[in-house]
Amino acid sequence: MHFQHSIHQKFYEYWNKKRGKRAAPSRSDMDPIEFHKLLPNLIIYRVEETPRNYQISLVGTGLTEALGKDLTGLYLNEFIHDEQLQHARNQLDDVAINFQPRIDELDAGFAGKPHVKYSRLLLPLSSDGERADRLIGCLAVNQRPENR
């Protein structure tokens, strides 16, 4: 993978080390103390099956600040709508189903802040080695809202 942001590279290397020869590490393999400097930039989605849905279980403080709202506990369809929802689901499904990391360039239009641009590295986590039950994202916010 090619990384434009050092936090993506650092977090990917940590994730890759923790997974070893497995398709993905488990949530319990990830020790926040080992990547504490990245915590403000992290987001964790809980993957639900039948029907597949995604609930945000953790949002870093840096992301909450950039968005101007806390998304913790919300399902994807509670804050993203219309064609953006299907596009977001496709991105998350790609990682959850294929166990493949991906990087997306996005904006926070869903939060009413289309001027906030960010790059998201999204990685799978699996407690049983068979299915991704969590996705963890590391976000590099390129622009923050102006302070007024």
pLDDT (tens digit per residue) in 106-119: 888 888 888 888 99
| pTM for this model (two decimals) | 0.90
Strand (E) or helix (H) holding 54:
strand 53-59
Region of poorest pLDDT, from 64-73, 93-102, 111-120, 122-131 = 111-120
Q: Which of 66, 36, 42, 38 is nearest to 56 (CA)?
A: 42
Average pLDDT, the chain: 91
Share of the chain above pLDDT 90, in %: 72
Q: Token digits for 100?
A: 């493949």
Q: Which of 42, 52, 46 is nearest to 15 (CA)?
A: 42
Sequence-separated (6 or more) residues with CB below 8 Å from residue 109 = 84
Region of poorest pLDDT, from 23-27, 84-88, 136-140 = 84-88
Half-sphere exposure of 17 toward its Cβ, with a 13 Å CA cutoff? 10
Share of the chain above pLDDT 70, in %: 96
